[in-house]
Homo-oligomer: A and B are copies of this chain.
């Protein structure tokens, strides 16, 4: 074996070579690729490295394992589907108005029997809910007084210890004392915005952006400066650099790892530059890392926070996409704003619910979370792939779909004529919820875009709902 031990990039090189063979057409859909042992000899690497390369290619959607038969090249329909182009929002400061759309979506998602493509909540069938509820039950029985008592900020120490330990995987070296728990990711983002802005301030956001952030900004009377986004690499940093020279910006909110709705993953170098650009002008970065654990590649992407040297980044996340939205447990690594965040937490909800915190801490400590995440990542990668294929078949030609590297949402550009809000009306009448594009823009732009959640197990009902959606899109085209 010629490789140096611990050379973690080697498998990527091997994966890259094989991917080229597929993309160039040397290996074609349905072809069997060499066995792991054979390929190890060909590339002069260990069996482990080859296996890692194959898993990487599987996650990227290029090959698939067939039981007892080995690895095969997958049909590449989806990778031929064009992605939406980079967004080009007007570089002007805008008031925000999305709240009515968020309320509408939440009402829809509550409708009995709805097909929930609209919400980005993970399908409960994909969650380890039995295990987690069992742990909560056990914690509740043994917690005694602790369970009913306030757990004032910064929140449960056992949970903060586990969060700090996991943060290492994202390159963040933080201690438990640098973490404040929150009532979910929503409270985390709200507190961060309140910590560094005041009414009338301008906040730089992605375009398209997660509607929850836009809605919070609307309620706080903040103005949005929308930044162009590439569907794979995320924020256009040259645009950010230019805008920073023109505008006085109170904060920047970004989802550098698997943005919502694009699913874009900023390359590490971009994350570093993002932090540098903002640090130079002392603009706080509110980093939303809520999808960070749901990567399809081989490694946990770094948090932009890991490049922060001055405490200007506030890292937010929660367990709502990976474990239990209903537990309402999130957190902030608030950097230099820690005291401020803890004070704000007191006026927001006083404390995070104690027993859900303790139950999640236990699930993390006993290894259950890691075990679950390993299968969840693969499941979501497959679902996203599967949904892309089904949408491609069901929708009229000419649509564009993102190719996310993690998370479980797809952003779809429909024909220009299609009004996503009209589509939403028609879909709701058929008991299907979608998230129309205007929710993701300060000014209700993206009128011919929709976001579709892939967070639910594949089923005939899901397939049929996509068929119905496709028919409606054709009707509106």
**Given A136-B136, A325-B351, A356-B355: A124 in contact with B106 (beta carbons within 8 A):** no
Q: In the complex, are the beta carbons of B348 and A190 less than 8 A apart?
A: yes
Instruction: Determine if A430 is an interface residue (Cβ-Cβ < 8 Å).
Output: no
Q: In the complex, are the beta carbons of B355 and A326 less than 8 A apart?
A: yes
Instruction: Determine if A103 is an interface residue (Cβ-Cβ < 8 Å).
Output: yes
Q: Which of A65-73, A160-168, A179-187, A241-249 contacts B (4 or more CB under 8 A)?
A: A179-187
- Residues from chain B with Cβ under 8 Å of A136 in the complex: 136-137, 140, 147, 355
Q: In the complex, are the beta carbons of B324 and A148 less than 8 A apart?
A: yes
Query: How many copies are assembled?
Result: 2
Q: In the complex, are the beta carbons of B350 and A353 less than 8 A apart?
A: no
CB distance from A252 to the nearest CB of B (A): 19
- Bound CA–CA A130/B142 (angstroms): 9
Q: In the complex, are the beta carbons of A149 and B325 less than 8 A apart?
A: yes
- Bound CA–CA A219/B344 (angstroms): 8
- Bound CA–CA A138/B133 (angstroms): 10
- Bound CA–CA A132/B141 (angstroms): 9
Against B, the Cβ 8 Å flags (1 = close, 0 = not) of A73-106 are 0000000000000000000000000010011001
- Residues from chain B with Cβ under 8 Å of A146 in the complex: 326
**Given A328-B351, A343-B99, A347-B186: A130 in contact with B144 (beta carbons within 8 A):** yes
**Given A150-B326, A352-B328: A125 in contact with B103 (beta carbons within 8 A):** no
**Given A103-B343, A348-B348, A349-B184: A148 in contact with B325 (beta carbons within 8 A):** yes
Nearest residue in B to A153 (C-beta to C-beta)? Answer: B106
Q: In the complex, are the beta carbons of A133 and B124 less than 8 A apart?
A: no
CB distance from A154 to the nearest CB of B (A): 10
A window 118-137: CB within 8 A of B = 119, 121, 124-125, 127, 129-130, 132-134, 136-137
Instruction: Determine if A275 is an interface residue (Cβ-Cβ < 8 Å).
Output: no
CB distance from A33 to the nearest CB of B (A): 39
Nearest residue in B to A185 (C-beta to C-beta)? Answer: B350
CB distance from A100 to the nearest CB of B (A): 8
Choose among B129, B130, B353 the residue that contacts A328 (Cβ–Cβ < 8 A).
Answer: B353
- Bound CA–CA A132/B110 (angstroms): 28
- Residues from chain B with Cβ under 8 Å of A344 in the complex: 219
Nearest residue in B to A128 (C-beta to C-beta)? Answer: B148
Q: In the complex, are the beta carbons of B186 and A348 less than 8 A apart?
A: yes
- Residues from chain B with Cβ under 8 Å of A184 in the complex: 349-351
Choose among B106, B145, B218, B324 the residue that contacts A129 (Cβ–Cβ < 8 A).
Answer: B145
Q: In the complex, are the beta carbons of B347 and A328 less than 8 A apart?
A: no
Q: In the complex, are the beta carbons of B121 and A133 less than 8 A apart?
A: no
Instruction: Determine if A152 is an interface residue (Cβ-Cβ < 8 Å).
Output: yes
Choose among B153, B212, B356 the residue that contacts A347 (Cβ–Cβ < 8 A).
Answer: B212
Instruction: Determine if A451 is an interface residue (Cβ-Cβ < 8 Å).
Output: no
Instruction: Determine if A199 is an interface residue (Cβ-Cβ < 8 Å).
Output: yes
Instruction: Determine if A21 is an interface residue (Cβ-Cβ < 8 Å).
Output: no
CB distance from A363 to the nearest CB of B (A): 11
Which residue of A136, A327, A328 has the most chain B CB atoms within 10 A of its CB atom?
A: A328
- Residues from chain B with Cβ under 8 Å of A198 in the complex: 199, 221
Q: In the complex, are the beta carbons of B133 and A149 less than 8 A apart?
A: no
12 A-B pairs with C-beta separation under 8 A: A103-B346, A106-B152, A133-B141, A146-B326, A147-B324, A147-B326, A198-B199, A198-B221, A212-B346, A326-B353, A353-B356, A355-B355
